[in-house]
Structure 1
Amino acid sequence: MKNSKLLYLALLILPWLTVPLLGRNSLKKYLPATIFMSTFTKAIDLFGEKKKWWRFFKGIPPLDSMNFFNFGPYFVSSLWILKLTYRKFPIYLISNTILHICFIYLGGIKLVNRNKIFTLEKLTKFQYLIINFLRALILYSFQYIIDFSHSKKRHSNK
Structure 2
Amino acid sequence: MKSSKLLLIGILIFPWLTVPFLGKSSFKRYLPASIFIVIFTKALDLFGEKKKWWRFYKGIPPFDSMDFFNFGPYFVSGLWMLKMTYGNFKLFIISDTILHILFTFVGLKYLKRYKIAALVKMTKIQYLFVSTLRGLIFYGFQYLNDLLQKNRS
Q: What's the Cα RMSD here? A: 0.6
TM-score by structure 2 length? 0.98
Residue identity matched to 1:37: I
CA deviation after TM superposition for structure 1 residue 42, in Å: 0.1
Displacement of 1:147 in angstroms is 0.3
Question: What is the alpha-carbon distance in structure 2 between the residues aligned to residue 7 and residue 102 of structure 1?
Answer: 19
Q: How many residues align?
A: 153
**Share of identical aligned residues, percent?**
61
Which whole-Å CA distance do the structure 1 matches of 2:15 and 2:47 have between them?
26
Paired residue for 2:89? 89
Match of 1:72 in 2: 72
Secondary structure of the residue that 1:61 maps to in structure 2? coil
Structure 2 SS opposite 1:119: strand
Q: 1:109 aligns to what?
A: 108
Whole-angstrom distance in 1 between the partners of 2:142 and 2:112: 31
Q: 1:57: which partner in 2? A: 57
Instruction: Kindly provide the amino acid, as one letter, of the partner of residue 144 in structure 1.
Output: Y
Runs of 4+ in 1 over 2 A off after TM superposition: none
Q: Give 1:52 deviation, angstroms.
A: 0.1
- Number of the residue aligned with 2:46: 46
**Cα offset, 1:109, TM superposition:** 1.0
Structure 1 residues without counterparts, runs of 5 or longer: none
CA–CA distance in 2 between the matches of 1:81 and 1:121? Answer: 29
- Distance of 2:89 and 2:7 partners within structure 1: 34
Equivalent residue for 1:2? 2
Rounded to whole Å, the distance in 1 between the matches of 2:74 and 2:152 is 30
The structure that has the greater radius of gyration is: 1
How far does residue 101 in structure 1 lie from its aligned partner after superposition?
A: 1.0
Distance 2:18 2:116 in 1: 22
Unaligned runs of 5+ in 2: none
Q: Residue 127 of structure 1 aligns with which residue? A: 126
Query: Cα distance, 1:115 vs. partner?
Result: 1.5
